[in-house]
Structure 1
Amino acid sequence: MILIFAVPWLIWRVGRTEYYAPLVVVQILTGILLGPGVLGQIFPDYYNFVFTPPVIQSLNGIAWWAVMIFVMIAGIELDLKKAWVHRRESGITAGLALGTPLLFGGGAALVMLLTDGWLGAHGERWQFVLGVGMACAVTALPILILFMEKLEVLRQPVGQRILRYASVDDIAIWGVLALILMDWSRVGKQLVFLIAFIVIGWLFRKLMAWLSERDRWYVALIWLAVCGFGADWAGLHFMVGAFLAGAVMEAEWFDQERMDLLRHHVLLVVMPVFFLSTGLRTNWTLGGEAVFVAAALLLVASVAGKLIGVRIAGRILNWAPGEASIIGWLLQTKALIMIIFANILLDREIITSEAFTALLLMAVASTMLTVPMVAPKLARLRELIGRSA
């Protein structure tokens, strides 16, 4: 725990990395550095002394509960009502922003499958292609909110539009994950879970509307555990259940300031454990060169796909010059949600730990590019707006 909290904070504070690598990104990078591929190779005896199997098992338990809470919050904060009001614009933009990098990422996955070492022991080729493609298409909604706060656009009209696009894509991401994880030998169980979820979810919404806000916070956590257990019992991942648990809740049931504080405290107190446990799952046995080449290929597919898709949407919707570039760069932010997504694929052995490492490196690079690319573009646009005024 000393390593988990001290090392990233020192790098972030002493190195003053905030502009291109906020603390969250530094924590992810530190997890990779403390993993078997770096620390384990340089100081194997120390690595084996610190990261014993019982320690790793304990860390994983804390990490997954933290992520379940985080994913539930992301589900609660989905604002599909506004997306429905602006459904043409939201549908076109979200569809192209998700579909284009999905195609590009799927193409990159097919190239990776030309060599061995990427497809997991229990993965089918279609699952690998769809999973890697979706990993390239993901937008990390919680990190996107942090970045837009930093850039002072979150409460502006463009920021609210970007949140709508990301919210619609979030639904698709978890829907695709459920499809990838569908276990046809247990399809009966999965149907039972979905029917039960619809019925109990309706009753749960009635209960939450009746409860005081103080009780809602406790009941929400019970509901989270129930949905996670049900999804896992049915053969879907408990993280799918966590997202569904949040998606059926209304943001207005909770005080927004307290919800922001909860997200902040989860990020501060327990999510660093997840970042380290993620780094411990990295693997370089194919050789660092192959992993880095795959990561570069995935990065090009994800960034180019997102920028091209959003640019096409901008042409269709007649956006102002420069608008598509800013929105595209913000929507290509990966970080947390993609890492959670990739962790689930690795858990189910659809991808190997080498493929997971390549995806993780892609997510970190994508996230680190966001603010340096967007900040100058925003400054130029504000300057032009001020000049025309």
Structure 2
Amino acid sequence: MTLSILTAALTTAGVIGLLAAHHGALTQAVRDPLARFLLAAGAIVLLSHLLGALATRVGQPKVVGEILAGLLLCPSLLGQWWPELRHAVLTPDVVSSLDTIAQLGLVFFVYLLGADLDGAGLRNQRKAVGLVTTGSLLLPFAVGVLITVPAGPMLVSHPVSALFFGLALAITALPVLARILTELDLASTPTGALVLTSAAVGDAVAWLGLGAILVSAGIGRTADLLILVTATAALAVLSIVCVRPALAALAARAAGQGNRRGTVLPAVLVFGALAYAAATQALGLHPIIGAFVFGLLLPRHSPAVGAANEHLRGFTSVALLPLFFATVGLKTSFESFGTDPHAWLLLAVVLLAAMVTKVLGAAGGAMLGGLGRRQALRIGTLMNCRGVTELIVASIGLRLHLVNEFGYTLLVLVALMTTALAGPLLRIRALRTDPISDMRKI
């Protein structure tokens, strides 16, 4: 399968290369805006999955290759290596369309995160989960805020930017973490369950914190704040009193229908995610906040809801997320680092601080919860994975001018590096399980 993808990619690249070599032939071939967008979207999806497959071959999570595919499109790389292709295909109208589709992908991705959040693990290991979550959030957040003090305008551009930057460093990527645990055959172990539950709770807290930061950044008058609080409270009451019971009843009815066609549940779920996203966008928050909340309202362990979400998950991961990674790459500029040694030094400091504080914070919480030192370090190493979740937060920060271009690029690189290092760090002898059965004990 990988060989067929590689063949298709090389063929496509060869055709485009031949067109680009003949004095604007590529521009003539994709003169129509829709054709240009379809060509760009198809090539991006293909490149993303190709590099994702290659990443898994070298022992990395697929998302590492997908992120790299997006970074290849940045002005500092594609713009320098192949400027004819960039100017011919990635025109402003195409980039604008990709950004719109990327927002749709983010809404569905975060909705699925909320739908997958299960409180059963929290109830079973409440103390350990609470301590690991608290440690993994507070220490990176505090150090991230402190880093912005000497860094000043190199990173931030808003009075609440320090809080945003600290939150970005405190993120753990739940989907990537789940994939790593599955690849290492740890997802079904008690340690794996503890890590996944802690990451899920931490993500929920982080999204709520992000909402509070967005309120602080966007609301200037007391009257506006009162309107926002009132509208948010009304939406919460409506969700709990009306929407959640209605969704439970609809899911039960869909389950009773079995595999018969005609159920409207998938359409209702898509509508609900988009409607809640639109509501929080209208309130001045980000649309993903509403999508996450709607996901939390869904009944847990419903076969009908699970089946509907699996179809949506497939399309989101195959088609929509690669386009989001492309928009991440298009906004990334390595030229913002330039040859200034202070910029590269700051990247090294932020990367080291992000990794050390995340590992120590989570490991310290685990040890306070009664776990051994080796298991605690293993948990801290896993919680250090940031992946696509930090990319989402960084994109929000850039869009709302909470971080500048340099700060955004720095966060993208931290997300990529911490995700790529998660697997290799777990293979260090000091973190290995000896014997293997020790992984199943907490």
In the superposition, the TM-score normalised over structure 2's length comes to 0.80
Tell me the amino acid that sits aligned with residue 231 of structure 1.
Answer: T
Q: CA deviation at 1:260?
A: 4.5
Tell me the amino acid that sits aligned with residue 226 of structure 1.
Answer: A
Q: CA deviation at 1:215?
A: 3.3
How do 1:110-129 residues align onto structure 2 when only pairs under 5 Å count?
110-113=149-152, 116-120=153-157, 123-124=158-159, 127-129=160-162
Where does residue 271 of structure 1 map in the other structure?
Answer: 321
Where does residue 3 of structure 2 map in the other structure?
Answer: none
Where does residue 198 of structure 1 map in the other structure?
Answer: 236
1:33 to 48, 57, 72: 72
State the distance in 2 between where 1:276 and 1:253 align: 34
Identity value in percent? 26
Between Structure 1 and Structure 2, how many residues are aligned? Answer: 380
Tell me the amino acid that sits aligned with residue 220 of structure 1.
Answer: L
1:305 aligns with 2:305: no
Where does residue 206 of structure 2 map in the other structure?
Answer: 173
State the distance in 2 between where 1:91 and 1:63 align: 33
* CA deviation vs aligned residue, 1:92-117 (integer Å, no higher than 9, x gap): 1110111111112222222321xx34
Tell me the amino acid that sits aligned with residue 231 of structure 2.
Answer: F
Task: Say which structure, 1 or 2, has more relative contact order (CA 8 Å, 6+ apart).
Answer: 1
Q: CA deviation at 1:385?
A: 3.9
* CA deviation vs aligned residue, 1:104-149 (integer Å, no higher than 9, x gap): 2222222321xx34223xx21xx21111111111000111111111
Asked if structure 2 preserves the Cα contact closer than 8 Å seen for 1:80 and 1:167, the reply is no
Q: CA deviation at 1:279?
A: 0.5
How do 1:68-83 residues align onto structure 2 when only pairs under 5 Å count?
68-83=107-122
Q: CA deviation at 1:219?
A: 1.4
Asked if structure 1 preserves the Cα contact closer than 8 Å seen for 2:109 and 2:313, the reply is yes
State the distance in 2 between where 1:66 and 1:38 align: 25
Where does residue 187 of structure 1 map in the other structure?
Answer: 225
1:86 aligns with 2:138: no
The SS at the match of 1:280 is: helix
Where does residue 402 of structure 2 map in the other structure?
Answer: 350
The SS at the match of 1:318 is: coil
* CA deviation vs aligned residue, 1:61-88 (integer Å, no higher than 9, x gap): 1111111101001011112343144322
How do 1:1-389 residues align onto structure 2 when only pairs under 5 Å count?
1-13=41-53, 15=54, 17-113=56-152, 116-120=153-157, 123-124=158-159, 127-182=160-215, 183-185=219-221, 186-202=224-240, 203-211=242-250, 212-213=253-254, 214-255=263-304, 256=306, 259-260=309-310, 262-290=312-340, 291-376=343-428, 380-383=432-435, 385=437
State the distance in 2 between where 1:305 and 1:7 align: 34
Q: CA deviation at 1:91?
A: 1.3
Q: CA deviation at 1:340?
A: 0.5
Tell me the amino acid that sits aligned with residue 150 of structure 1.
Answer: E
Asked if structure 1 preserves the Cα contact closer than 8 Å seen for 2:132 and 2:363, the reply is no
Q: CA deviation at 1:297?
A: 2.1
Q: Larger deviation: 59-68 or 103-112?
A: 103-112
State the distance in 2 between where 1:16 and 1:244 align: 33
Asked if structure 2 preserves the Cα contact closer than 8 Å seen for 1:135 and 1:341, the reply is yes
State the distance in 2 between where 1:86 and 1:379 align: 22
State the distance in 2 between where 1:117 and 1:36 align: 20
The SS at the match of 1:319 is: coil
**Structure 1 residues 173 and 313: CA distance shift in structure 2, 3 A:** same
State the distance in 2 between where 1:42 and 1:189 align: 50
Tell me the amino acid that sits aligned with residue 170 of structure 1.
Answer: D
State the distance in 1 between where 2:42 and 2:278 align: 32
Tell me the amino acid that sits aligned with residue 200 of structure 1.
Answer: L
Tell me the amino acid that sits aligned with residue 147 of structure 2.
Answer: A
Q: CA deviation at 1:207?
A: 0.6
**Structure 1 residues 254 and 231: CA distance shift in structure 2, 3 A:** farther
State the distance in 1 between where 2:45 and 2:247 align: 36
Larger radius of gyration: 2
State the distance in 1 between where 2:184 and 2:109 align: 23
**Structure 1 residues 257 and 249: CA distance shift in structure 2, 3 A:** closer
**Structure 1 residues 91 and 112: CA distance shift in structure 2, 3 A:** same
State the distance in 2 between where 1:111 and 1:379 align: 34
Q: Larger deviation: 309-318 or 230-239?
A: 309-318
Asked if structure 2 preserves the Cα contact closer than 8 Å seen for 1:25 and 1:368, the reply is yes
* CA deviation vs aligned residue, 1:152-179 (integer Å, no higher than 9, x gap): 1112211111111112111210111111
Asked if structure 2 preserves the Cα contact closer than 8 Å seen for 1:76 and 1:249, the reply is yes
Q: Larger deviation: 83-92 or 234-243?
A: 83-92
Gaps of 5+ in 2: 1-40, 255-262
Asked if structure 2 preserves the Cα contact closer than 8 Å seen for 1:27 and 1:275, the reply is yes
RMSD across aligned positions (CA): 2.3
Tell me the amino acid that sits aligned with residue 333 of structure 2.
Answer: N
The SS at the match of 1:288 is: coil
Asked if structure 1 preserves the Cα contact closer than 8 Å seen for 2:55 and 2:65, the reply is no
**Structure 1 residues 189 and 226: CA distance shift in structure 2, 3 A:** farther
State the distance in 2 between where 1:110 and 1:364 align: 24
Asked if structure 2 preserves the Cα contact closer than 8 Å seen for 1:326 and 1:377, the reply is no
Asked if structure 2 preserves the Cα contact closer than 8 Å seen for 1:20 and 1:369, the reply is no
Q: CA deviation at 1:21?
A: 3.0
State the distance in 2 between where 1:253 and 1:12 align: 31
In the superposition, the TM-score normalised over structure 1's length comes to 0.90
**Structure 1 residues 135 and 305: CA distance shift in structure 2, 3 A:** same
**Structure 1 residues 23 and 58: CA distance shift in structure 2, 3 A:** same
